[in-house]
Amino acid sequence: MSTPESGLPMVVPAQDLPARVRIHEVGARDGLQNEKGTVPTEVKAEFIRRLADAGLTTIEATSFVHPKWVPQLADAEQLFPLVSDLPVALPVLVPNERGLDRALVLGARQVAVFASATESFAKANLNRTVDEALAMFEPVVTRAKAADVRVRGYLSMCFGDPWEGAVPIHQVVRVCKSLLDMGCDELSLGDTIGVATPGHVQDLLAELTEEGVPTRAIGVHFHDTYGQALANTLAALQHGVTTVDASAGGLGGCPYARSATGNLATEDLVWMLQGLGIDTGVDLARLTATSVWMAERLGRPSPSRTVRALSHKEQ
């Protein structure tokens, strides 16, 4: 069965959804960080330029984590100047003050720290307790804000944790409030292992609202490990969330690897948002072409269903 000739969804708005959503594109950072092998710096820069050309306005560019931990992004110093002229927001991950220093020197205007809602993942990822990690981030956030740099606080394992199972909502809310209290402008609530379902999303968002966290400060970051990312996104939109993380082509979510992280594919998200009449500013055809181009560079097909459907159409 062929796809519609337009390659675009029909537009039928739904009730009580936001008029506009900002997509926080994570493919170049979260995606490539989780791909096997290292992509040449020039290819990364071209990828980011193409993403900007496709209309994405927030493109997480790279990470200033120590290269020993994330060798895929060891070229942050070389990459950032190649794209910093783009007229888009280019947040970068900074794990600590040393990382912040490296980012600020290069002129980064947005940074992100990476916290955990669970002790097990804080220990595994940062070799610290949750509170020790928050203490490490505090001077990072303070100094960033003093430099008028916008700060995003990632929060991993907001729903389930591979070691701890279900993560209590109050535990997530506590870390969210700590991140906002120290000055983060925005949170990104991560379903790192992809186990959330829509009722859980609703409950966490309701509790955050109850606790006074403004919805405009909340981003959602769903993984498609069990195919739930878009349904969870719909639940978040119904709560009023207007910032959604996604990865072009589903990068970082190789469906064949045991370690699949399964990022929500930006194209699948854009198909839904555009169909709902929600403005994203993204040109789906250009974005899909970019992901096909990147998949060729990586030597494997995109796991995004929309990319597959639209690129088969063109064959």
Q: Say if residues 108 and 92 touch (Cβ distance below 8 Å).
A: yes
Residues lying near its own copies in the complex (CB under 8 A) are found at 1-6, 9-10, 12-15, 17, 159-162, 165-166, 192-200, 202-203, 224-228, 230-231, 233-235, 255-256, 258-262, 265, 268, 271-272, 274-277, 301, 304-306, 308-309, 312, 315
State how far the Cα of 180 lies from the Cα of 209, in Å rounded to an integer: 13
CB of 252 to its own copies, least distance (A): 11
> Shortest Cβ distance from residue 18 to its own copies (Å)?
13
Query: What is the C-alpha separation between 141 and 159, in angstroms, rounded?
Result: 25
Token representation of residue 221: 């970051």
**Minimum CB–partner distance for residue 136 and its own copies (Å):** 22
Report in angstroms how near the CB of residue 202 gets to its own copies at its nearest: 6
Query: Which backbone phi and psi does 279 adopt, to 5 degrees?
Result: -75, 130
Nearer to its own copies, 213 or 234 (CB): 234
Least distance in angstroms from the C-beta of 261 to its own copies: 6
Spatial separation of the C-alpha atoms in residues 228 and 222, rounded to whole Å: 8
Burial 145-161 (b: 16+ CB within 10 A, else e): eeeebbbbbbbbbbbbb
Kindly tell me which of 11 and 105 has the beta carbon lying closer to its own copies: 11
Tell me whether residue 138 or residue 207 sits nearer to its own copies (CB atom).
Answer: 207
Q: Which residue pairs from 38-44 have beta carbons closer than 8 angstroms and sit at least 24 positions apart in sequence?
A: 38/71, 38/72, 38/74, 39/72, 39/297, 39/298, 41/75, 41/78, 41/79, 41/82, 42/82, 43/297, 44/75, 44/79
Rounded to the nearest 10 degrees, the angle between the axes of helix 198-210 and helix 229-239 is 30
Which residues are the active-site residues? 254
| Beta bridge partner(s), residue 152 | 112, 186
Query: In this complex, which beta carbon is closest to its own copies, that of residue 22 or of residue 200?
Result: 200
- Tell me which residue has tokens 């594919």: 265
